[in-house]
Structure 1
Amino acid sequence: MQLRILFIIAIISVGNLSFGQSIKAKRAHKFFEAKSFIKAAKLYEELPETAVFLENLADCYYFNGMMEKASKTYEKALTRLDHSESKGTFFKLAHALYGIGNIAEADSIMALAKSMDINTFELKEKLEKSAPFFYNVNLITNGNSSGDFGINYYNDQITFASLSSNGSKTYSWNDKPYLDLFIGDFTEEGAIENINPLSNTVNTKTHESNAVVSKDGQTLYFSRTNDKRYEIDDQKVAVVKLYRATLVGGEWKDVEELAFNSDQHSVLHPALNSDDSKLYFSSDMDGGVGSFDIYYVNMTQDGNYGEPINLGGIINTQHREQFPFISKDSTLYYASEGLTGFGGLDIFMCELKKDKITFGTPLNLGQTINTGKDDFSYVVNSDDNTGFLSSNRNDNDNLYYFTREKNERTFLVEGSVKDKNSKEILPNTLITLLDKDGNAIDSVVVGQDGTYKFYTKPFQEYKIEGFKPLYIPSVVDFNTDDSGKIELDIELELESYDDAEDIVIEKDGYVFIQLENIYFELDKWAIKPQAASTLDILVELMKKYPRMEVQLSAHTDTRSSYEYNMTLSDNRAKSAKEYIITKGIERSRLSSVGYGETQLLVNCGDDCTEDEHSINRRCEFIITK
């Protein structure tokens, strides 16, 4: 009886434990879905280490910058997850590893996430040669311990977001106070003084951040988190929106939402171009490339906005792109975690192309400013090469001041050369780097792998040529104006003459130009009209391909003596060559040889018919280069 009672008690205890865990799991999931990550983490830490619990717990750490805990927890989760469906988890684990300095391991994990080779050490070396600037970065002191970011120019002052000192309400994401916008004076000593919050028309009980002022100082754009949550994909989400305020009597008033906001997606991080004609921002609206993309809208003089335009797949990735800034020289700077970098958000730059609309390839600013954690909200005065950024490199969001110095850059140009049709590698091809005027700068004969590599200077125009005997040379024009092209990958494809032209054939190891036979009068070598018309076809072909070189070979039949036939054939070959030269073909591109009766096509001896003699009596055109 006593044993039975103990058994019942054990069952009840297990049931209570299971019931308790079920309640705790529901609460943890509820906090997690509401993005109350700190509260969710405390509960997940007490639950069994299932795949779902571990991955959610790792996310809680990850989204609050606890990269040591995040990496260890993701690694545990991956032992219980299907790796074929875990690219997102690999991606976050890699960033967590970058954040704690495990670069080699992070590279191997990121390679799995992106299905491509990743080598951060190699990236660092390349950027040391090609990044446009080297940075000297210093922490700004302003009296707050953490939570400062989104610094920007504010007339003669600066503006930034910082934790609010008003009210006791905290943000459930990180259990810290909400953000407000402040202004202050930046001193030569690298501190912010005379700090004051913006007016209550701008700052509210929710988040405000990332303010930018128009060039005339009359309009303020800023981000504000919605005070209500709306259901998006079965979750209650408080989106971020862009607002505009107008300066009236020295106060910011008439605060209003911008027309392209929505309760179904966020619009944040405003930036203005040099003439205030375009407003750039980040958004996760439908139709983008990925998570958050960089967009812009055209602004009209009457204060209206065009439709949002996505900057496209060169700028944006399937991951976060945020915090755009347009410098006075029209360069776009922004933060990305999807482009190849050093971990977390890295700062990239893109120069405006000649069309004044599109931007070039993004260029990572290098490891003198980017770290393994989040580096973002970059602004610069391109006149004096000073500026600001935000970073959590010291575990909390802080403001930093920088100066930058120009780097004597080089751009790597590399690629390989292949047959245009067969796609086979073409070893022993001569690859030549030329300046814009066609002068050779450097050259290399490729090896068995068909690859080549050159270093070039920025903001230059170049040509690159591939040349191989019996192939049409291939020339590609390129320039290094676009900042992002630190590695130009130019694949050259060469087409053989026999693939390109129907009258060119390959036979017995030689490449022939197949033309009608040239006829000469008996014992003569003067070019007659029929022969001239045939040779004119060759002239046009050689004009079409200026690097083509041809050997003209004359042959006789067996009639007459050996010595006579050698002389006759040599004269006929020379005569054809001289005719072609009179048509404008350089002498150096032509050679002639008389073979007499030494290379008969029909070896018929003393019993040759007239037809057989005519077959042997011929002129051949062999492409030698």
Structure 2
Amino acid sequence: MSLPKSTLLLLVFLIPFSLFSQKGKMAAADKKYEQYAYIDAIEIYENVAKKGYKSAALFEKLGNAYYFNSEFDKAALWYTELFNLNEEIEQEYYYRYAQSLKSIGNYTKANEMMEAFSQKSSNDQRARLYAADRGYLEKIQENSGRFNIKNAGLNSEQSDYGGAFFGDELVFTTARDTGGPFVRKMKWSNQAFSNLYASKAKVDGSMAAPEKFTNILNSKFNEASAIFTKDQKTMYFTRNNFTDGKKGRSKDKRTLLKLYRATFDEIEWVDVEELDFNSDEFSCAHPALSTNDRELYFASDMPGGFGQSDIYKIKVYTDGTFGKPVNLGPTINTEGKETFPFISDDNELYFASDGHPGLGGLDVFVAKIKEDGTLEEVKNLGQPLNSKDDDFAFLIDSKSRNGFFSSNRPGGVGSDDIYRFTETRKISCEQVIEGYVVDEETGDFLGNSQVVLLDAQFNIVKEMYASELGFYSFHVDCDRKYYIRASKLKHETKELAIDVPKAYGKTSVNIPLDKRLKTYAKGDDVGPKLGIRMIYFDLDRANIRPDAALELEKVLVLLQKNPNLKIDIRSHTDSRQTRKYNQKLSDKRAKATMGWLVKRGISPGRLTAKGYGESQPVNKCVDGIDCTEAEHQQNRRSQFIVTAM
């Protein structure tokens, strides 16, 4: 039976009317989306999707709305719909889809997306990091199992995160109800605006009931992420752009985040001021301080950065003014989010990132800050501290190895919760070199011996005096070569090479020292009696090599402990080059050796230095005779001849 013509006409009109209706709803949702009202936008988008409407724009924005609110499992559902359309997709969605897939444990598919992302975005730092470390999951596993964690016991049903030590209190950020008749909420996440609360640590390690940290600083918008100077008289914190009761807006009508400073007058926090490097056009948030309080670290999306938010540092001068923000560079920052910096007393930078290879969402990473200000390799802290969800706002007491971090992982009380932890071992593999300095003949302990630790280039790393029983101990890095040098009055100095294994543990090394019973007569070469290997020089050079410096230490100790001893330094070359050239070179080498000893406190009056060129070879290698490099090097040497006692 065929349908009446009137019914057919009605269907023809209903189909475009239905499409028009869905497009109208999309336009309304898009407006909410563009205003960052993601919760409202999601509700409309999902209603449209349930009606069977499909488009790349719909699935992109649905995925993004959940992604930006860190609901990665739901983001994964809509990004899957997006990719199922088999349309051309912007490269950023490959990365977001990979991150979202990790949140549901699908690392195989996530890595497939990362491979595609790397091919499409080869210049992206996130792609380069992945391509350089495809075995990142194995490395994360190596770093795992180092934390005992539990809920901090101070969380609410709202968002609780961040933290800073303030005496025996933890000052943190919370969106919990403040007790007023109305709770103002952010359209972005449907969460209440946040304030600063504090909780004291009890004797048993638990946390007391949280209370407002201060009423003075609270505005009707967000206050968050406080940090305090060592004297606890200055606080830096994050707040929405709100100064002197006026809300600031960017050109696109957004109220962004800024950094503020307040001073403690022994009663309350006063003199609240906005930091002068803020702007209405970008956000600055989540401050941290260097170990000496002279540098302020923070996260920002200011122009000229690498990604969505980068970590910067800025000098804080003694008069309270600031230098210029310095981006920490590609070692730390990526095209993703780097945020929530924290500097430990061990001078380590901890930060959260979704751009470095991780387990999903934000992971916590660490990089050691070297003495010159540069940063060592970035390392993922591993499970269980990091998870498939957002993990961030890490802080640690370097002495107790106790601390706090925040996460939106399942099983918490609210959307973000604060967790406490104890770190059971450091992330950097450490070994302990330990042992006893003993008398080689009797085996007796040589108490108070000087023991020096040197690296593979013979640079002094640490030095100490052994205990009364001759015991010494050094904490060192795994999988490296070191030298241990021990000296004791009336004993000969001795050094040993040690190859530290690539594993946690201890390496026991006893150092036996010979008694200094040797006597010296005029004309003696002290080198053989001191067990000195030849002082070798590189071809055509007169500089003191590191291995030569190690041998010269023995001569230095001998001269220090025998103040009447005088020595003639004699330098020799091989037969290559002309006799005139070699004579000049050997003089330079002798004087370089003498200069090394003088620089270390030996009087020039106790030393003479002379070069002998190629005139006194120790082997057959004279002009016209072919010799190996090793044979020639035997002639490039120094002697130490006693001239007076």
TM-score with structure 1 length normalisation? Answer: 0.64
Pick one of 301, 326, 343 that aligns with 2:360.
343
Alignment of 1:104-253 (within 5 A): 104-115=108-119, 122-127=135-140, 129=142, 134-166=146-178, 167-187=182-202, 191-226=206-241, 228=247, 230-231=249-250, 235-253=252-270
Alignment of 1:221-370 (within 5 A): 221-226=236-241, 228=247, 230-231=249-250, 235-355=252-372, 357-370=373-386
Determine the structure 2 residue equivalent to 1:422: none
User: SS of 1:250's equivalent?
Assistant: coil
| Aligned equivalents of 2:155, 2:576: Cα separation in 1 | 91
- How far has the Cα of 1:306 moved from its partner? 1.0
- How far has the Cα of 1:318 moved from its partner? 1.1
| Aligned equivalents of 1:177, 1:41: Cα separation in 2 | 19
Whether the 8 Å CA contact 1:129–1:408 is kept in 2: the answer is no
Whether the 8 Å CA contact 1:124–1:366 is kept in 2: the answer is no
| Aligned equivalents of 1:534, 1:277: Cα separation in 2 | 56
Determine the structure 1 residue equivalent to 2:37: 36
- How far has the Cα of 1:121 moved from its partner? 9.3
Pick one of 344, 368, 384 that aligns with 2:400.
384
| Aligned equivalents of 2:418, 2:231: Cα separation in 1 | 26
- Quickly say closer, same or farther: Cα 1:231–1:108, change in 2 above 3 A: same
User: SS of 1:19's equivalent?
Assistant: helix
Determine the structure 2 residue equivalent to 1:18: 19
| Structure 1 range deviating more: 71-80 or 219-228 | 219-228
- How far has the Cα of 1:18 moved from its partner? 3.1
- Quickly say closer, same or farther: Cα 1:299–1:217, change in 2 above 3 A: same
| Partner amino acid, structure 1, of 2:81 | K
Residues 198-240 of structure 1: per-residue CA shift (max 9 Å, x gap): 33331222111111112111111111123657455xx543211
- Quickly say closer, same or farther: Cα 1:3–1:179, change in 2 above 3 A: same
User: SS of 1:177's equivalent?
Assistant: coil
Whether the 8 Å CA contact 2:405–2:419 is kept in 1: the answer is yes
- How far has the Cα of 1:66 moved from its partner? 2.6
Residues 569-621 of structure 1: per-residue CA shift (max 9 Å, x gap): xxxxxx9976456999544999xxxxxxxxxxxxxxxxxxxxxxxxxxxxxxx
| Partner amino acid, structure 2, of 1:175 | N
User: SS of 1:279's equivalent?
Assistant: strand
| Aligned equivalents of 1:373, 1:78: Cα separation in 2 | 22
Determine the structure 2 residue equivalent to 1:523: none
| Partner amino acid, structure 2, of 1:70 | A
| Aligned equivalents of 2:329, 2:427: Cα separation in 1 | 30
Whether the 8 Å CA contact 1:130–1:410 is kept in 2: the answer is no
| Aligned equivalents of 1:113, 1:367: Cα separation in 2 | 25
- Quickly say closer, same or farther: Cα 1:65–1:130, change in 2 above 3 A: closer
Whether the 8 Å CA contact 2:407–2:418 is kept in 1: the answer is yes
- Quickly say closer, same or farther: Cα 1:313–1:119, change in 2 above 3 A: closer
Whether the 8 Å CA contact 1:315–1:361 is kept in 2: the answer is no
- Alignment of 1:372 onto 2:372: no
Alignment of 1:412-431 (within 5 A): none
| Partner amino acid, structure 2, of 1:55 | E
| Aligned equivalents of 2:56, 2:248: Cα separation in 1 | 29
- How far has the Cα of 1:98 moved from its partner? 1.1
- How far has the Cα of 1:52 moved from its partner? 0.4
- Quickly say closer, same or farther: Cα 1:238–1:321, change in 2 above 3 A: same
TM-score with structure 2 length normalisation? Answer: 0.62
| Aligned equivalents of 2:166, 2:193: Cα separation in 1 | 22
| Aligned equivalents of 1:262, 1:213: Cα separation in 2 | 23
Determine the structure 2 residue equivalent to 1:492: none
- Alignment of 1:63 onto 2:68: yes
Whether the 8 Å CA contact 1:36–1:172 is kept in 2: the answer is yes
- How far has the Cα of 1:3 moved from its partner? 4.7
- Quickly say closer, same or farther: Cα 1:214–1:354, change in 2 above 3 A: closer
- Alignment of 1:403 onto 2:422: yes
Whether the 8 Å CA contact 1:103–1:120 is kept in 2: the answer is no
Residues 328-355 of structure 1: per-residue CA shift (max 9 Å, x gap): 1221111111111221111111112132
| Partner amino acid, structure 1, of 2:170 | I
| Aligned equivalents of 2:155, 2:147: Cα separation in 1 | 25
| Aligned equivalents of 2:170, 2:324: Cα separation in 1 | 30
Whether the 8 Å CA contact 2:241–2:249 is kept in 1: the answer is no
| Aligned equivalents of 1:208, 1:35: Cα separation in 2 | 19
- Quickly say closer, same or farther: Cα 1:18–1:581, change in 2 above 3 A: same
- How far has the Cα of 1:35 moved from its partner? 1.2
Quick one: percent identity of the two aligned structures?
A: 31
- Quickly say closer, same or farther: Cα 1:176–1:191, change in 2 above 3 A: farther
Name stretches of at least 5 consecutive residues in structure 1 with no aligned partner. Answer: 412-433, 439-455, 464-478, 481-531, 544-574, 591-625
- Quickly say closer, same or farther: Cα 1:89–1:533, change in 2 above 3 A: closer
Q: Indicate the RMSD between aligned Cα atoms, in angstroms.
A: 3.6
| Aligned equivalents of 1:533, 1:125: Cα separation in 2 | 53
- How far has the Cα of 1:15 moved from its partner? 4.4
| Aligned equivalents of 1:193, 1:303: Cα separation in 2 | 34
User: SS of 1:170's equivalent?
Assistant: coil
Residues 489-523 of structure 1: per-residue CA shift (max 9 Å, x gap): xxxxxxxxxxxxxxxxxxxxxxxxxxxxxxxxxxx
- Alignment of 1:102 onto 2:114: no
- How far has the Cα of 1:378 moved from its partner? 0.5
| Aligned equivalents of 2:391, 2:408: Cα separation in 1 | 7
- Quickly say closer, same or farther: Cα 1:406–1:292, change in 2 above 3 A: same
User: SS of 2:22's equivalent?
Assistant: helix
- How far has the Cα of 1:383 moved from its partner? 1.2
User: SS of 2:79's equivalent?
Assistant: helix
Whether the 8 Å CA contact 1:241–1:257 is kept in 2: the answer is yes
| Aligned equivalents of 1:229, 1:17: Cα separation in 2 | 42
| Aligned equivalents of 2:116, 2:482: Cα separation in 1 | 36
| Partner amino acid, structure 1, of 2:390 | D
| Aligned equivalents of 1:190, 1:91: Cα separation in 2 | 41
| Aligned equivalents of 1:402, 1:336: Cα separation in 2 | 20
Whether the 8 Å CA contact 2:343–2:349 is kept in 1: the answer is yes
| Aligned equivalents of 2:422, 2:303: Cα separation in 1 | 38
Determine the structure 2 residue equivalent to 1:27: 28
Determine the structure 2 residue equivalent to 1:76: 81
User: SS of 2:146's equivalent?
Assistant: strand
The structure with the greater share of residues assigned to strand is 1
| Aligned equivalents of 1:337, 1:90: Cα separation in 2 | 14
| Aligned equivalents of 1:153, 1:247: Cα separation in 2 | 15
Whether the 8 Å CA contact 1:129–1:410 is kept in 2: the answer is no
- How far has the Cα of 1:192 moved from its partner? 2.9
| Aligned equivalents of 2:143, 2:457: Cα separation in 1 | 21
